Amino acid sequence: MFPRLTHPRAYVGGIALLMLLLIPLAVNSPFIYHLAVQVCVFGALATAWNIVGGYAGQLSLGHAVFYAIGSYSATMLVIHFGMSPWLGMFGGAVIAVIAALVIAYPTLRLRGPFFALATIAFLEVCRLLVVHFQSFTGGSAGLNVPLNIGVEWMIFREKWAYLLIAFGFLAFTLWVSWIIRYSRFGFYLIAVREREDAARAVGVNAVRVKISAAVISAALTSMLGSFHAMYLTFIEPSAAFSLELSIQIAMFALIGGLGTVAGPLLGTLLVLPAAELSRGWLSALGNGTHGFVYGVVLVIVVLFFPRGLVGHLGGKALALIDRLPGARRFESAAPTIVNSTSPASSSSGVRGKPILIAEGLHKRFGGLKATDDVSLTLHEGEILGVIGPNGAGKTTVFNQLSGFIEPDAGTVKVCQPDGQWRTPTSPENFAQAGVGRTFQIVQPFSGLSVLENIMLGAFMHTRNIAAAESVAREVAELTDLTPLLNASARELTVGGMKRLEVARALATRPRVLLLDEVLAGLNPTDVARAIEMIRRIRGTGVSVLMIEHLMQATMALSDRIIVLNAGQLLREGKPADVVNDPAVIEAYLGKGYLDAQGT
């Protein structure tokens, strides 16, 4: 829950942060106090924005709406009900959470720009509503906060009191952001941002994760808005419900580094004082100069420094900091976990009870019957090969077996350890029901290390980072990835990436593993390695269903083979019987070949 304060990154960061409080207290000038309060508030706003905009990668361009909800709720509760803003800000946060749900629920189920559009539209609508209901909200003229001086009203004569509170808010927001970044939730957010499909395949409920990020961010933003209203003692719709303010907040986070803990604050520290100091002479040049410079800076940063201060310079800075005392080279606090995977590893080749049954699957794409009445059964401890010529519908069947495509008719059911059958409906449901899958086109989370990639799978059964890491190390051993654990996933070879796909799926501790062409495109050494790996996996008691083009490998590995052709199940049987079947040969090589052979 807390950073370890003996680590140089923690104490250097903490001391730097404290400077934001100590320097103004030492200087004791009203302007410096004001600047420091603004840096704290905007730094915290950018940090809160970053939870949804950076970690989740969902651009909220109307984020000021949550700020304004907080400002207005707290102020109106003071005016109309005499409620202290210390309580009122929670009222604002509740309203902001509801607003975030209204925006996020319809739009975050979709991919694309819908969330960004909805936030802008919502901002505009709230502004209009506030202007319209003027008897209650003060309309476009705005509201004055009653000046009841006292701690309970968050109104003070001394500027330093505001700074203390603002600093507290900033520290709290940073702490929340830090917890999220290094928790399972943070890993899930990054996974969903990078590759939603692959995240769902390891059991992540992508929509819920994104909505949670939006809700947390909205609540924090609203509380900051409540405080800021008390500080400014005056609010008006055009300043609070402002697109410009929203963009400014997002821009601070971008300049500092999206998706990093320290970035948004650093971006604010870099830009805000410069903007405040130059405001005077820039506005002397004409109305709008200020905004024009902001726009141009934004474009330049996006084009040339899209990773921000932290992204471009963070590595070097951290390397310097890590040379200070207290940084241990490698941390292996992970307890060695007892091998929890194998449910009484059945001896290979022996057919157990059915574990996955598909019945009467149908799927049409327009006029094409991609899957036409396919039924199949996978048994415990079995390796089942699925072959068929290109376009036979192998991948479509595969996607129905893992929830990525919903069949038009038919069911897929999975046997649970307690003997009950479950019919999952979504990819994450399938993963949770014990069906792991790989992707034919590999889907590594390229921003994460190999270890972290595998940990994502392990998180399905544990929230604990150390436990997930230990599962990941175990799986890496099984998939020949141990020497590569600290490499970045994008540095792997094709063979490595394919094994990473398998490892990530295995880390969810599946009882059924669906492999989609994991041998395709590998060199002979890697193929041999992968075949051994699949045997080892089956040895741990996992049932395997594999789609494969490489005939020899399929023949060697499979206990049973299913042949698909034109969406239909053509043959099913032992490898040797199936490949000599005339119908199968015809499907692969055409009727002419059969005739020429004289059969």
**If binding is defined by CB under 8 A, does position 208 make contact with another protein?**
no
**If binding is defined by CB under 8 A, does position 270 make contact with another protein?**
no
Q: Pick the piece of the chain touching another protein (CB under 8 A) from 26-34, 40-48, 127-135, 210-218.
A: 127-135
Burial of 214 (0-12, 13-18, 19+ CB in 10 A): buried
Phi, psi of 503 (to 5 degrees): -60, -45
Place of tokens 């992707």: 439
Task: Report how far residue 589's alpha carbon sits from residue 387's, in angstroms, rounded to the nearest whole number.
Answer: 14
**If binding is defined by CB under 8 A, does position 124 make contact with another protein?**
yes
Task: Report how far residue 326's alpha carbon sits from residue 330's, in angstroms, rounded to the nearest whole number.
Answer: 12
Among 83, 131, 164, 321, binds another protein (CB under 8 A): 131
**If binding is defined by CB under 8 A, does position 61 make contact with another protein?**
yes
374 DSSP β-pair partners: 361
Nearer to another protein, 18 or 125 (CB): 125
By CB under 8 A, the residues from 132 to 191 that bind another protein are 132
Among 18, 25, 110, 151, binds another protein (CB under 8 A): 110
Min separation Cβ 124 and another protein, Å: 6
Q: Pick the piece of the chain touching another protein (CB under 8 A) from 55-63, 224-232, 471-479, 576-584.
A: 55-63
Site string for another protein, 291-310 (x = CB under 8 A): xx-xxxxxx--xx--x----
Min separation Cβ 435 and another protein, Å: 25
By CB under 8 A, the residues from 238 to 257 that bind another protein are 243-244, 247, 250-251, 254
Among 10, 94, 117, 566, binds another protein (CB under 8 A): 117
Query: Quick one: CA dihedral 488, 490, 492, 497, positive or negative?
Result: positive
What letter represents residue 229's amino acid?
A
**Which residues fall within 8 angstroms of residue 429, CB to CB, at 6 or more apart?**
403
Task: Report how far residue 85's alpha carbon sits from residue 87's, in angstroms, rounded to the nearest whole number.
Answer: 5
Residue from 89, 78, 44 nearest 63 by CA = 44
**If binding is defined by CB under 8 A, does position 122 make contact with another protein?**
yes
Place of tokens 């069947």: 397
Residue 285, CA atoms < 13 Å, CB-side half-sphere: 10
Residue 510, CA atoms < 13 Å, CB-side half-sphere: 32
The beta-strand segments (E) located in 280-399 are 354-365, 368-379, 383-387
Nearer to another protein, 14 or 113 (CB): 113
Min separation Cβ 299 and another protein, Å: 4
Q: Pick the piece of the chain touching another protein (CB under 8 A) from 33-41, 126-134, 271-279, 394-402.
A: 126-134
Nearer to another protein, 246 or 341 (CB): 246
Among 128, 324, 494, 596, binds another protein (CB under 8 A): 128
Nearer to another protein, 104 or 547 (CB): 104
* Residue 579, token pair as written in the block: 């490949």
Task: Report how far residue 375's alpha carbon sits from residue 356's, in angstroms, rounded to the nearest whole number.
Answer: 11
Three-state secondary structure of 560-577: EEEEEECCEEEEEECHHH
**If binding is defined by CB under 8 A, does position 368 make contact with another protein?**
no
Place of tokens 């799978």: 457
Nearer to another protein, 84 or 488 (CB): 488
Q: Pick the piece of the chain touching another protein (CB under 8 A) from 106-114, 182-190, 328-336, 558-566.
A: 106-114
Q: Please say whether the beta carbons of 249 and 231 come within 8 A.
A: no
Residue 558: how many other CB atoms lie within 10 Å? 23
Q: Pick the piece of the chain touching another protein (CB under 8 A) from 112-120, 177-185, 324-332, 383-391.
A: 112-120
Residue from 14, 1, 19, 5 nearest 262 by CA = 14
**If binding is defined by CB under 8 A, does position 14 make contact with another protein?**
no
**If binding is defined by CB under 8 A, does position 129 make contact with another protein?**
yes
Q: Which residues bind another protein (CB under 8 A)?
A: 53, 57-59, 61, 102-103, 105-107, 109-114, 116-118, 120-122, 124-125, 128-129, 131-132, 243-244, 247, 250-251, 254, 258, 285-292, 294-299, 302-303, 306
